[in-house]
Structure 1
Amino acid sequence: MNNFFLIRYGPEILQRTGEHLLLVVVAIAIAILVGIPLGILITRQKGLRQPILAVANILQTIPSLALFGLLIPLVGIGATPAIVALTFYSFLPIIRNTYTGIIGIDPAIREAGRGMGMTDWQLLTQVEVPLALGVILAGVRVAAVIAIGIATIAAAIGAGGLGVFIFRGISVVNNQLILAGAVPAAAIALIADYGIGWLEQRFKQPQHSQPK
């Protein structure tokens, strides 16, 4: 029976799903709080663009198991190194999309705002960020899907989550256990992708909008 594993491991699936979501939500929240300001910063300080994006690119390319291993001597095992690693992996799409969204705004819109006497802060908060929000959310969506997938590997360092089933299933060659971890993780990724994608479409604004 295809859904046998859902019945057999149901209570533990719920527990591990909660652990998985906690890792991802905390990491994405931190990445948003740090990444969006960094993306805004590099639209104002052009000299910082290459160094910041280079660091984010390097973090993105480090193999996940290697990054988890590097963090263990610094912060130990468990949820903390997992959250740090997932945050690092989430930086690049959020920083890059924030930068791209703001830079891509029609310069005429900025000029209109300045002509109305807006300060740089007012221009940023009332014009640029609202117009770029759809692109920024696209970066958050990519980061969330990546984090959900990589969080399965966090079980290797004692962080819990749905990866516990996958590693257990691999060790005893049990497909039911592997599915008990893989199917809910895939479902969470699809739900996150659809939900944030829906928000992205709602907040996407035409670039010819004028500041109010």
Structure 2
Amino acid sequence: MNILDFVRAFFTDSSHWHGYDGIPTRLLEHVGYSLEALALAALIALPVGLVTGHLGRGGNALALIATAARALPSFGLLVLMFIWLGFGTLPVMIPLVVLAVPPILVTTYEAIRSVDPSPVDAARGLGMPEPRILLQVEIPVALPLILGGLRTAAIQIVSTATIAAYVSFGGLGRYIIDGLYQRNYEKVVGGATLVAGLALATLLVFWAVGRLAVSPGVRRGT
């Protein structure tokens, strides 16, 4: 059988669409882990990136932190957290958040720093306070790049959340891990296809958010 045969066999098998191990259940679990990790990473990285970018300080430190975080192996960190903290959501969230923080943090910083200084100086000349300058002048212009950082982090999370299955969690990784253990390559290929499809769907979601959230003038400029 080739890959297309495995894919067809997996998705046409009715047993894969029902029960605790069905595609809808595993997909919801995977999306839940991914959204939770992305939200936590954004809560950590966005404020730091926005403030440091606005102040123009800490760029070297952010780059160092991002490089160190990217060097950590997600699977090794997952196993270490599982041994240290035991079973639960936290050991899964930590490596996913550590993976997602660097692209959000660095991209947000660079996005704010890349804003044309002319409107910022004009806002200061009008007496606008610094928080309003950040919120009303810099963020709207930098939003396409900020969304780009969030999109990169989301794709990485969706792709890497499969490792949760190694510590007996659910999600689409269950098909890959269980399929390898059972030598059921139909299940392995089906799970990998679902993960790839979810990553593509994530790209489409961020494209739609960008169309809705970014003003047409900024879109044309970028």
**Displacement of 1:61 after TM fit?**
2.1
Matched to 2:24, the amino acid is: L
Partner Cα separation in structure 2 for residue 17 and residue 139 of structure 1: 24
Partner Cα separation in structure 1 for residue 48 and residue 86 of structure 2: 28
Moved over 3 A (4+): 44-47, 201-207
Give 2:16's match in structure 1, choosing from 2, 9, 15. 9
Give 1:114's match in structure 2, choosing from 111, 124, 142. 124
Partner Cα separation in structure 1 for residue 33 and residue 85 of structure 2: 15
Matches within 5 A, 1:82-93: 82-93=92-103
Q: 1:131 to 1:35 in 2, by over 3 A?
A: same
Partner Cα separation in structure 1 for residue 132 and residue 24 of structure 2: 45
Say whether the 8 Å CA contact 2:37–2:96 is kept in structure 1: yes
Matched, 1:54 2:64: yes
The aligned residue for residue 141 of structure 2 is 131
Matched to 1:5, the amino acid is: F
The normalised TM-score by structure 2 is 0.86
Partner Cα separation in structure 1 for residue 183 and residue 149 of structure 2: 36
Partner Cα separation in structure 2 for residue 201 and residue 61 of structure 1: 33
**Displacement of 1:78 after TM fit?**
3.6
Partner Cα separation in structure 1 for residue 141 and residue 50 of structure 2: 13
**Displacement of 1:66 after TM fit?**
0.7
Aligned residues: 208
The aligned residue for residue 36 of structure 1 is 46
**Displacement of 1:92 after TM fit?**
1.0
Q: Percent identity?
A: 30
Partner Cα separation in structure 2 for residue 197 and residue 159 of structure 1: 30
The aligned residue for residue 183 of structure 1 is 193
**Displacement of 1:167 after TM fit?**
0.7
Unaligned runs of 5+ in 2: none
Partner Cα separation in structure 1 for residue 60 and residue 153 of structure 2: 20
Say whether the 8 Å CA contact 2:54–2:113 is kept in structure 1: no
Unaligned runs of 5+ in 1: 208-212
Of the structure 1 ranges 169-178 and 146-155, higher mean CA displacement relative to structure 2 is found in 169-178
CA-based RMSD: 1.9
Q: 1:180 to 1:145 in 2, by over 3 A?
A: same
**Displacement of 1:204 after TM fit?**
4.0
**Displacement of 1:57 after TM fit?**
2.1
The aligned residue for residue 163 of structure 2 is 153
The aligned residue for residue 82 of structure 2 is 72
Q: 1:137 to 1:158 in 2, by over 3 A?
A: same
The aligned residue for residue 210 of structure 1 is none
**Displacement of 1:75 after TM fit?**
2.6
The aligned residue for residue 26 of structure 1 is 36
Say whether the 8 Å CA contact 1:138–1:197 is kept in structure 2: no
Say whether the 8 Å CA contact 2:179–2:185 is kept in structure 1: yes
Partner Cα separation in structure 2 for residue 48 and residue 111 of structure 1: 21
Partner Cα separation in structure 2 for residue 139 and residue 25 of structure 1: 15
Matched, 1:163 2:173: yes
Partner Cα separation in structure 1 for residue 89 and residue 189 of structure 2: 23
